[in-house]
Amino acid sequence: MVAENLEQVRKNIELACKEAGRDPKEVTLISVSKTKPVSMLQEAYDAGSRDFGENKVQEIMDKVPQLPSDIRWHMIGHLQRNKVKYIVDKVALIHSVDSLRLAETIEHEAVKHNVTVPVLIEVNVAQEESKFGLKTEEVLSLVESVAAFPHIHIEGLMTIAPYVEDPEENRGIFRQLKKLSVDIAAKNINNVNMSVLSMGMTGDYQVAVQEGATMVRVGTGIFGERDYSKQAQDK
């Protein structure tokens, strides 16, 4: 099932790229594997997936030793400062930097582990109260502050759009994030690159790709519905 689903998602991405006049190679598909067992991740790996997204530090720590070492792990969930030390040298990209205090902790731990950490700034474009992330007008000042940290490299922006029945409703959100990234890129800030736009999930990734996403985060569309009750039993 996982291999077939992956194939379908890839085809959908290719189609969305074609509609937007984009090269599908510009888009990285992140298999969002949170709460999923290692066996399902292995299936996705065997079907060619190399980028996996998790939203809990503990899951990354549990899964990394059990899976091939060429996987690129993405931290896509809210990151608590006291957990940074566990993953700073294990992840390819942290998508969810939304405060100076978190960035300071990442810098501190990166120095200890002698690594440079690629990050995205999380933007709450829709200003949903239930979501983390900065308001669009707060982003530039955080980017300018974090740019001064030598062990962090800002690669772009991330947003979690609202859950909607009709993905067209999120087109404006994706467009806003793209515009923000273009505006920041135009400022040519040292140590800041706006090449990554992480936006779009199972329900709306095709629209996100049409609007310029370079990373889409697809979980349900690849692995099926998540069963949180099972996860509770496993603990």
The predicted-structure confidence for 173-213, as pLDDT tens digits, reads as follows 999 999 999 999 999 999 999 999 999 999 999 999 999 99
Q: How many Cβ atoms are within 10 Å of 201's Cβ, its own excluded?
A: 22
Model confidence pLDDT, tens digit, residues 75-88: 999 999 999 999 99
Calpha distance 39→28 (Å, rounded): 22
Domain count, the chain: 1
Report whether pLDDT(232) > 50: no
Nearest to 84 by CA among 32, 151, 134, 22: 151
Residues forming beta bridges with residue 119, ordered by sequence position: 94, 154
H/E run at residue 222: helix 220-223
Structure tokens of 17?
Answer: 């790229």
Q: Is residue 211 part of a domain?
A: no
Nearest to 154 by CA among 201, 96, 225, 69: 96
Cα 145 to chain centroid, rounded? 21
Calpha distance 146→101 (Å, rounded): 10
Residue 222 binned pLDDT confidence (cut-offs 50, 70, 90): very high
Q: What are phi and psi of 117, to 5 degrees?
A: -105, 120
Q: Is residue 26 part of a domain?
A: no
> What CATH number has the domain bearing residue 172?
3.20.20.10
**pTM assigned to the model:** 0.95
Residue 227 binned pLDDT confidence (cut-offs 50, 70, 90): low
Q: Is residue 212 part of a domain?
A: no
Cα 231 to chain centroid, rounded? 22
Q: Is residue 153 part of a domain?
A: yes
Contacts (Cβ under 8 Å, ≥6 apart) of 31: 6, 41, 44, 49, 51, 52, 53, 218, 219, 222, 223
Q: Is residue 90 part of a domain?
A: yes
Residue 225 binned pLDDT confidence (cut-offs 50, 70, 90): confident
Residue 58: what pLDDT? Answer: 97
Residue 226: what pLDDT? Answer: 61
Calpha distance 154→195 (Å, rounded): 9
Calpha distance 89→85 (Å, rounded): 8
The domain of 85 spans 37-195
Going from the C-alpha of 218 to that of each of 20, 154, 192, 232, the distances in angstroms are 20, 23, 26, 22
Q: Is residue 10 part of a domain?
A: no
Q: Is residue 96 part of a domain?
A: yes
Contacts (Cβ under 8 Å, ≥6 apart) of 124: 131, 132, 133, 134, 135, 159, 160
Q: Is residue 99 part of a domain?
A: yes
Q: Do 44 and 1 meet the contact criterion of CB atoms below 8 Å apart?
A: no
Average pLDDT over residues 21-36: 97
